[in-house]
Every structure is written in structure tokens, then in C-alpha cells.
Structure 1
Amino acid sequence: MKLSTHLYRVGNDIVAAYLVVTPEGVTIIDAGLSGHWRDLRAELTVAGRTLGDVKGIILTHGDSDHLGFAERLRRHLGIPVYVHHADAARAMGGPKPPNAKQQMRFLPLVEFLTYALRKGGLRTSWLTRTIDVRDGEVLDLPGSPPPPHHRPSRALRGQHRRACSARRRSVRRRWTHDTQRPDRRDRPPARAVHR
């Protein structure tokens, strides 16, 4: 789904991967579920691109619903997968940090599980190699991303679990943990209303 001039989404509001499409190539933010493979190829076609145009994948964190087709692209096409060093072990099948447990409401959990089952959520291929990113490191990827940095997950209220954050100036979006939202710096300043 085309969200803006340079931004496409593969998946839905529950689990998604985002394509940042520029003249220099494509950067993928998260890799969704393994069943998103066909959707990825279809979305690249809509954008007038191919798998050969993908220059890198940035994972916001190492949970299985963000890994989807990442290992497939890395193994078969040599596309680098970037993840914050604190999440690299998790992205390679390591244990979930004990403080990463979060309470989920029943209906959203059922919706997630139903969608994940339909899209291959049980067929996760853990990564066998990642490129670890440190705070402040600048990645040479399409979309002129500023350095990814670790931010505490808002769902975990400041505990030690963190997620990689990437902000793309070309698409005016920020990805943090399981969210994607317009960048606050791109919003117009609030104006006082006088009556």
C-alpha cells in the first residue's frame, strides 16, 4: 500500500514492513512475517522496483514478527540486515529478555495470532548474520537515514528493553519498536487561538 511518495507498506496495521523508495534504491524497515514475501514482491512491482533495488533492511528489534523475509533476502541476495547490537542475539533466535513481557488485551491478541497464522508467523527463519548498529552510527542506505539509536519501548515503561529507532527525512516518519508515526519535527508549531 502506498502511504506517501516514498513510503509503501507491506502487511496491515497489525504486522507490517515498510519500504522507503528513493532514486538511490529501497530500504526496508522491518521484514514482517515470512508470508509477506509475495506481498513484498507485489509492492516492489507497484513501486516500479525489483528485489535487486533493495539496499538494506533495518530491524527495529529482534522479535519474530519483524524478521519475516529478512534472512531470505540476506541469504539469497546478500542484502545486509541492520539491528541494534542489544537486539542482535534476539534476532538470531536468542531468548526474549525477561523484562520484555507485556500484557496484551484479549481481542488484539486474537487478531494478531489469527493474522500471524495466515501469514506464516510459525515459519520464522531466525537470522544467521546481522550487522550490529551502535548508538549514533550512520547507515549508508537510501532515504538518508540519520543514525539509528536505542529508545526505551513505551509499552515497557522505561525498563531495560529497548528498540532501534530510525527517522527518515525523505518520508517524514519515525519507526520505534512496533510503531510508525509522523515525525514530530515535521509538524507545524501549535498556534495560540485568541478569542
Structure 2
Amino acid sequence: MRAEGSAVSAHPDGTGLEDALEAFRPDLVVLDWMLPGRDGPALARVVQGFGDVGVVLLTARGEVGARLRGFEAGVDDYVTKPFDMAELLARLRALLRRLGRVSTTIQVADLVVDAGAGVVTRAGQRVDLTATELRLLGFLVENRGRTMSTTQILTQVWGYEDVAENLVQVHVSALRRKLEAHGDRLLHTVRGIGYVVRA
């Protein structure tokens, strides 16, 4: 998160959480479920007392009962271990956007994507995209400079990964055609790995 430009305060357990929240006033808190002393759901309830703060719970417990306990404690999102760091960062950014803490506009070269408004422009020209193309482009520009695998894209854009990989290829091809109608290639294929947006 520091590499993403966020200010971060890290703590090994929930001791002194109230003081840390008062001093740091975070927009978002990431909690591990299994902490010494009070566990993640108990700490999530503490966080809820500090206003409109997003809470993401990390845990190896994937059963429905555990998830329900987390959501009942006020958790906004739930990430099961093991997880991919790119997925966690994408979830944190999405939660920050929902909370209104970050701009929804991202620019890469002459490409401007305002995911919140659903508007994409390239070299000052509006690019009309389908809802799926907008989600796909939004995910790729959020992770600009990083190669996203087909599995990561399927999970984040479609919500599942047990479909044919050519689903991503078809949408990338359509998206690429629309973007390149107004400029040079920004959406690149990294053979055998996935796709990346970079100038």
C-alpha cells in the first residue's frame, strides 16, 4: 500500500487499537482473523465505532459460517488465504472508491478512464465501451504496469475463473481495437502470462 502512495500504520496485534485509530484516523483497516488477544471480527466491531472506516478481513477460514460472522461484525470485504497481492490491492482500491476516498479517474498517457462516471477518452476523444469492456479496462488501468494473468482478470472482472480463457482474449481484442482507433497501443499481451496496460 505504501508503494501505491498510501500512508500506512502497521501493528502486530490488536493491542492499543483504539489509540492507534484515534491517532492515525485511517480510511481503511485490514485485519487478520487470527490475532493474539481479540480476533479479527472483535476488532472489526471496535473499528466500526470510529466512523466510516472500511474493514477488510484476511483469513484462512473460508467456510460460510466464518464469513457470516465477519460480515455481522461490520466487515466490508473478506479475502481468503492464500490470496494474490494484486487481487488484495484491487479490492482495497475498490473499497476506497466506494467510500469516496479516492478519485475514480486514472490516466495512462493520453487515455483517461473515469470508472465512476463510466467515461473513457483517448486523445480527447470519447471511447464507447460496453459495461464488460469498461470493467476490464478499469481493472487493467488500476494495475497499470503490472501484468495481469487471465485467471486474475476472470476473477476480478467476471467473478469466476472456470470458463474458457478465450473469453478474455475476445474482450481484450475488442477493447484494443477501440483504443487504437485513437492512438498507439497501450494494452499489451505478455505471451504465456497475460495482459498489461502501459505507455
More helix by share: 2
Same fold (TM over 0.5): no
More strand by share: 1
Structure number with greater CO (CA < 8 Å, separation at least 6) is 1
TM-score by length of 2: 0.28
TM-score by length of 1: 0.29
Select the structure of larger CA radius of gyration.
2
